[in-house]
Amino acid sequence: MKTVLSYIRPHRAILGLQFLIKFAGTVLELFLPWMLSAILDDAAPSGDIFKVLLWGGGMILCALMALVTNIIANRMAMKISRNVIAALRHDLYDKVLHLSGSQADRLTLPSLISRLTSDTYNVHQLLDNMQRLLVRAPILLLGGMIIAAILEPVLTLVLLGTLPLLGLIIWYTSRIGVPMYGQVQTALDLLVRTVRENIHGIRVIKALSKSDDEIARFERINQELAQKEQRAGIVMSVTNPGMNLLLNLGLALVILAGAFRVQAGLTRPGIIIAFLSYLTIIITALMRVPRLFVIYSKGAASARRIAEILDMQADLAVKPCDRRPSPCHIEFSSVRFSYNKIKDNLQDISFSLRQGETLGIIGPTGSGKSTLVSLLLRLYDPDSGEIRISGENIQGMAPEILYSKFGVVFQNDFLLTGTLRDNIDFGRPLGDAAVEAAAQTAQMDYVSDMDGGFSSLLSVKGANLSGGQKQRLLIARALAADPEILVLDDCSSALDYKTDAALRRGLAVGYQNTTRIIIAQRISSIKNADKILVLDSGRMIGYGTHPELLASCASYRDMVEVQMGVVSR
């Protein structure tokens, strides 16, 4: 909560003014029953019309002023809540984008999505309602009790007798309810993950006739979430009827005792009516307490989840590292890495590339090819060993400097909803010449067949493009900024052999000074690379040129025989 509260501090001045306006409007409401008692006990019995009109006019004026001040205060509360949550959501999104790969893996993507959406909404509701009710309810409660005690001290004692029981109900339900809403948000994470998986895989689900199975799986998770919400709701719902019972019993006792006191001449009817009005005000204020606690329970649980991310320390901080002259552009030295810190996903990886050289990486699924790229981009840090670019350890490079060196196409990349130009430019002011040159190298010849050319709109996730067209668009995006290092992670699998060969020729001619790392399953895609790295189960089982590997690496030779039929050295 401290992290979230820090976002409120810049608004302290306007928040204080809003509280003063809310306070003034609430106090004006407390005058209304007292004025009514004056009319009933003094002005009306004496037949003084002037006093009746005077007190009646005062009541109308107080009611109007209370209305205006409450409207102003509520609008200010809404503005404060909106600005606070906008800043909070912005910083949370920024923090999410700067999480390391291991932190994102630990939190999971569905949880990050729900924290950015439903959790920030719950905190918004908490801030908004606390500003509206946290000032108003206590003033009405305490002010009403003070004025009621002045008017009728004896009857006030009856009301005070119910307060300890009310406090016990509120304490009990909040102690149990707040943790339960945290469990509800965790269950919501699982629901978001399930929906996300189904939406991403909707075509596969339909193609394999698994719609009924996925509906059943969703129903189980949905029911689990509903049950947790129901249990939390049942606990919190005890507050409302319990308080109703106690308050109504108190009201009945007040009316009964008041009748006896009026009959005995100890008080006047106007005071009893005013006291009942104040009692109604007190009851209304107390009835808002359960609502506040429900909102607080949700908001506090969500605030803790948000603070967990905002308070996270960067585990990929820039470290002071030495820089040494090196003829190599990229160096891996005895690199070892494990995702779960139990079994190594990469072990003892060592190689080097000069500026402008091409490295081809090949190996079976799960051999660590994409993991190697993730380490080069410093999405994770190796458990041991060093990775250097131009002699500088990447752990000593600022992220913006490191990432500016790369043009990357990941194995499972994404496209934005927008134009072809927007997806290639990607928010970088590159200009039309750079966009068109990159598209030409990436063999995006299909642009000329589209009605809008580079201004043609893409559907969500590029659904109106074929697999090969998407891959060429992603490659153009990576090439557009003329990167120092180009990483292509199995991004030509949907290209036909002719287009793949044309792409490789275009890279060789137009990007001679760019160091290229190409992960592929096709031998033809990496056959002419300066160096080829063969991985299997996270280990280097071969490193060299195509002819060298044919002579020294049996696994590579087997792949060549399977794909090309004849081993040619």
User: What's the whole-number average pLDDT of the chain?
Assistant: 84
H helices present in 367-451, as ranges: 369-376, 399-404, 420-425, 432-441
Which one is predicted more confidently, 155 or 424? 424
- Kindly state the average pLDDT of the residues 337-344: 86
Contacts of 268 (CB under 8 A, 6+ apart): 37, 40, 41, 262
Kindly indicate the confidence band of residue 337, based on its pLDDT and cuts at 50, 70 and 90. Answer: very high
397 to each of 151, 232, 332, 350, how far by Cα in Å?
74, 48, 16, 20
Angle, CA of 13, 95 and 401, to the nearest 5°:
120
Residue 313 has what DSSP assignment?
A: P
Which one is predicted more confidently, 290 or 465? 465
Which one is predicted more confidently, 323 or 486? 486
At residue 566, the pLDDT reads 59
Kindly indicate the confidence band of residue 290, based on its pLDDT and cuts at 50, 70 and 90. Answer: low
Contacts of 242 (CB under 8 A, 6+ apart): 169
Contact (CB, 8 A) for 31 and 63: no
- Kindly state the average pLDDT of the residues 352-373: 91
- Kindly state the average pLDDT of the residues 121-125: 90
Condensed to tens digits (0 to 9), the pLDDT of residues 222-252 reads 998 898 888 888 877 777 777 777 777 777 7
Share of the chain above pLDDT 70, in %: 97
Q: 3-state DSSP: the chain helix, strand, coil percent, rounded to 5? A: 65, 10, 25
Which one is predicted more confidently, 568 or 30? 30
Residue 389 has what DSSP assignment?
A: E
At residue 178, the pLDDT reads 67
- Kindly state the average pLDDT of the residues 249-272: 77
Kindly indicate the confidence band of residue 315, based on its pLDDT and cuts at 50, 70 and 90. Answer: confident
Q: Within its chain, how far is the Cα of 388 from the centroid?
A: 33
- Kindly state the average pLDDT of the residues 93-119: 87
Top mean pLDDT of 51-55, 302-306, 334-338 is at: 334-338
Top mean pLDDT of 72-86, 190-204, 257-271 is at: 72-86
The whole-angstrom separation of Cα 255 and Cα 243 is 18
Q: Is the pLDDT of residue 374 over 60?
A: yes
Q: Round the CA-based radius of gyration of the chain to a whole number and report it.
A: 35
Condensed to tens digits (0 to 9), the pLDDT of residues 18-42 reads 888 988 888 888 888 878 777 777 7
Q: Return the closest-CA partner of residue 282 out of 168, 152, 128, 171.
A: 152
131 to each of 181, 441, 546, how far by Cα in Å?
22, 58, 70
Write a three-state SS string for 332-382: EEEEEECCCCCCCCEEEEEEEECCCCEEEEECCCCCCHHHHHHHHCCCCCC
Q: Is the pLDDT of residue 170 over 90?
A: no
At residue 267, the pLDDT reads 74
- Kindly state the average pLDDT of the residues 372-376: 92
- Kindly state the average pLDDT of the residues 314-331: 84
At residue 484, the pLDDT reads 93
Which one is predicted more confidently, 1 or 232? 232
Q: Return the closest-CA partner of residue 503 out of 409, 422, 370.
A: 409
156-160, 359-363, 461-465: which has the minimum mean pLDDT?
Answer: 156-160
Condensed to tens digits (0 to 9), the pLDDT of residues 538-565 reads 999 999 999 999 988 999 988 888 887 6
- Kindly state the average pLDDT of the residues 191-206: 83
At 292, list the tokens: 């506040």
Q: Is the pLDDT of residue 126 over 70?
A: yes
State the pTM of this model.
Answer: 0.73
Kindly indicate the confidence band of residue 277, based on its pLDDT and cuts at 50, 70 and 90. Answer: confident
At residue 2, the pLDDT reads 58
> Which residue type, as a one-letter code, is found at position 480?
A
Q: Is the pLDDT of residue 568 over 60?
A: no
At 141, list the tokens: 């409660």
Contact (CB, 8 A) for 286 and 348: no
Q: Is the pLDDT of residue 502 over 80?
A: yes
Contact (CB, 8 A) for 398 and 358: no
- Kindly state the average pLDDT of the residues 3-15: 83
At residue 276, the pLDDT reads 77
> Which residue type, as a one-letter code, is found at position 8?
I
Condensed to tens digits (0 to 9), the pLDDT of residues 506-535 reads 888 888 889 999 998 888 888 889 999 999
- Kindly state the average pLDDT of the residues 86-108: 89
> Which residue type, as a one-letter code, is found at position 348?
D
Condensed to tens digits (0 to 9), the pLDDT of residues 431-469 reads 889 989 999 999 998 888 888 888 888 887 777 888 888
